[in-house]
Chain A
């Protein structure tokens, strides 16, 4: 089963660092799994928790949020805010049976083409292992 499962991963990439890092992976011809679908935001600070929930609700098997490295944010420190939101969001996701590996936050700079490809590769492998999302109703644990 896990051998044939091909997950779909939605990647929210910030314009200034991670999207540029992905561009660079392309320019350098560094292949990575075709499972990623990219969505550009100007900053990870724009990523509303609802975007992530929406992606899972619409059938994503994983959500990848990539921002600038700490201290490098084009908008000063909004990546920290995104990081804070992500931590809270993981708790909500886990309550719904969405494992934390399915929603990954990481930093990729505009120069880190290889890192970008590596993160996508790792995430794809992790989710292949996990298999499809198995949503459960909140409170199911109590029964």
Chain B
């Protein structure tokens, strides 16, 4: 084999950044005497346009089988010289860049020792390059369409952004309406904006807009299976019956009036009832009721009631016979935006949640204060009294090693909002806030913080340890908050209502879906990111993106920004009409040597390795593989090879760097 070696002086003559320390003349003899070296050519500035042209011309004239360039760091110019080789018709993976600048010339003071080291490193590169193989980047056809799971703020924004770019979007939502949590809330921090109004333009675009990309909305649906990889996913979507046709129904609500069956409405803390056929939420979109199989007597008792069908003015809107379906879709990218939930406060026994109806969570109070809530927006206790004193307890279970160890970031601002709402809806109510560490980040939060404690009826009390605040319920049903201040007996405040700020937790959603998607969750139960700082909306699996509160607790602004970011990733990675370039420096399995032991499977952080259930042979998906080589080193049978970093190349390099 003929190896062509180029030595870059990184400057003119003996004044270059490299040649100033390492005289190419002192290196030449040792390199030229290496077996397989065809020539040793010295260049001034190899990376400059003139240098590249000179190397290109020289390569074209001498046609070496392998190329070694002794110059600067491959982190700086490996791509440059690979391009030059490709232009000369030499496979770019047959080139090895040896770093004699950063790792030799610039760090060794004695020129003789620098020359020795440069020779050793060039010899190692030359030995290695003989084992390098030509590699071709595969080009795969892709589907540019996307699946968005979850129709809350993050998912809606992702769907809208993708459709605005002309991509087909399948939007899958577990519930019967769009909008996620904010449509169930009324006003949001930091500026007391109307939450449903905030989402109105996005919902309008998605439901009735004329976005260039079609949006296929699948309500009452979940994703049950996913196969494939970036650019080529096959997804299975299961849809449970709504029994009311979203296409036919005009939303007149006559069926609701006529329905004879009422059940407690959990959304309104079971303080109101709902019909067996009813709107999920008054004002929710699409404006189409749901017939609840768990409540309708046709399904619970096998009755022959047809009250809703009989009164419905639209033929084909009531569909008693509708059944669950499963459909398949092909997509190229997946945005997961399934949201989060709040911690089960009944676990924090000292706070009394569940023991008294006037001990409520931050989510409960959203409904208690909502105009479409149980009291029409009036703040009342469970037995209908106007409360005189309300306690607002921050960090209810958060920053607590026994419950939720982290700070869930949004509760303080929610508390300030709640305090403000109480003050405006029930002026004169005494508000005692028990704060631990106030979190009010960003440029807008501080106003609401000040406002919450400005009024004549607001008091802020600080507590330090989770156990310092307890909620007491006496035999007569009286409520009091006990606050241990560290000095003497705890201070006890009698109250009519206790509002607990519950931390946001991942809930079972991410773990359940993680099993379907094969994407990991972290110790907190939220989805793990590709990189929590620089790539928080990418999962470690290529083509699957995460947005909103399923990644971490965050506010609506954060969730919508992440939805847009995730869509941006999908748009830039999959461009319609373009193929997907797959880096060839990945791992590959020799099936005849694979014993099916599965050692490689868990060491891969990208779920790129599968073991066939029938043949028991592992295989690496080159689209998902990032080329770290951990599986190569882990394989006890030597069945996995790392392209470009093969055992042969590595052993040759190790041997040659040590032996003259």
Contact = CB atoms under 8 A, between A and B. Distances in A.
Interface of A: 8, 10, 15, 19-20, 22-23, 25-27, 29-32, 34, 37-43, 45-51, 54-55, 58-60, 74-78, 81, 85, 117
Contacts of B650: 39, 41, 48, 51
Contacts of B73: 19, 23, 26
B108 A34 contact: yes
B654 A46 contact: no
Given A19-B75, A20-B75, A75-B605, A46 B629 contact: yes
Contact of A78 (B605, B647, B655, B658): B605
Given A26-B103, A46-B630, A117-B107, A34 B113 contact: yes
Contacts of B627: 42
B540 A55 contact: no
A10 B654 contact: yes
Chain B interface helix/strand/loop/mixed: helix
Chain A interface helix/strand/loop/mixed: mixed
A55 B650 CA distance: 11
Q: Which residue, B99, B116, B654, has most C-beta atoms of chain A within 10 A?
A: B654
B478 to A, nearest CB: 50
Given A34-B110, A43-B630, A46-B630, A23 B659 contact: no
A41 B101 contact: no
Nearest to B657: A37
B466 interface: no
B654 A54 contact: yes
Contact of A37 (B102, B121, B540, B633): B121
Nearest to B113: A34
Given A26-B102, A59-B658, A48 B647 contact: yes
Given A34-B108, A46-B632, A46-B645, A77 B654 contact: no
B603 to A, nearest CB: 6
A47 B633 contact: yes
30 contacts: A10-B657, A19-B73, A19-B75, A23-B76, A23-B103, A26-B73, A27-B106, A29-B107, A31-B107, A31-B108, A32-B107, A34-B114, A37-B120, A37-B124, A38-B103, A39-B650, A40-B99, A41-B629, A42-B645, A43-B630, A46-B633, A48-B632, A48-B633, A51-B650, A58-B658, A60-B658, A78-B605, A78-B630, A81-B603, A81-B630
A26 B628 contact: no
9 tightest CB-CB pairs across the interface, nearest first? A46-B629, A26-B102, A45-B630, A76-B605, A34-B113, A75-B628, A26-B106, A43-B628, A48-B633
Given A10-B658, A41-B645, A58-B655, 13 more contacts: A15-B75, A20-B75, A27-B102, A34-B108, A34-B114, A34-B117, A39-B657, A41-B629, A42-B627, A46-B633, A50-B647, A54-B655, A75-B626
Given A38-B99, A42-B629, A51-B650, A76 B540 contact: yes
A29 B106 contact: yes
Nearest to A49: B633
A26 B653 CA distance: 22
Nearest to B605: A76
B284 interface: no
Interface string B624-641: 001111101110000000
B553 interface: no
Contacts of B107: 25-26, 29-32, 117
Nearest to B101: A26
A20 B103 CA distance: 10
Contact of B653 (A39, A43, A59): A39
A33 B310 CA distance: 91
A19 B106 CA distance: 15
